Amino acid sequence: MAIRPLKAHGQRLFASKARQRFHHHHIQAARQRRKVIVTRSRRETLTFKHPFRIKGIDRQLPAGAYEVVTDEELIEGLSFPSFRRVATMIMVPAAPPHRSSTEMISINSVDLAEAQQADAVASAVTN
């Protein structure tokens, strides 16, 4: 079988290479249509013994128990399941005058860890 040159996208391609690229393109397009992003949410309750602040929240929050939701996304292409954090949210009492409501506020996980550390230090000082 003779391989005849083809012109595609300003390049010279041979028929067999053109078929190969065509096939590869359609496989990738099919994968993208079927691509499912696996996410999971973890919920935990954190207790602060002292009033505290977290960057991104413009007010001091009272001591108490707070629900924290962490969304994670599966890292694809690894031989084992591994997740990366994509969002951290905390449920807080709404700002006045809506104290009976609850707000879910997106925060940085590092800022949350700093607030927990400051609370632990404050607890150690008072004991």
Residue that is written with structure tokens 């309750």 in the block:
45
| Residue 13: φ, ψ to 5° | -120, 150
Q: What is the pLDDT tens value at each position of the chain, 127 positions in all?
A: 455 544 444 444 445 555 555 555 555 666 566 667 788 999 999 999 999 999 989 899 999 999 999 999 999 888 888 999 999 999 998 877 777 889 999 999 999 999 999 999 988 877 6
Q: How many helices (H) and strands (E) does the chain have?
A: 2, 6
Q: Which residues are within 8 A (CB) of 50 and not within 5 positions of it... i.e. 6 or more apart?
A: 63, 119, 122, 123
Residue type, 66: Y
Q: Residue 10 has what pLDDT?
A: 47
Q: Which residues are within 8 A (CB) of 51 and not within 5 positions of it... i.e. 6 or more apart?
A: 60, 61, 62, 63
pTM: 0.66
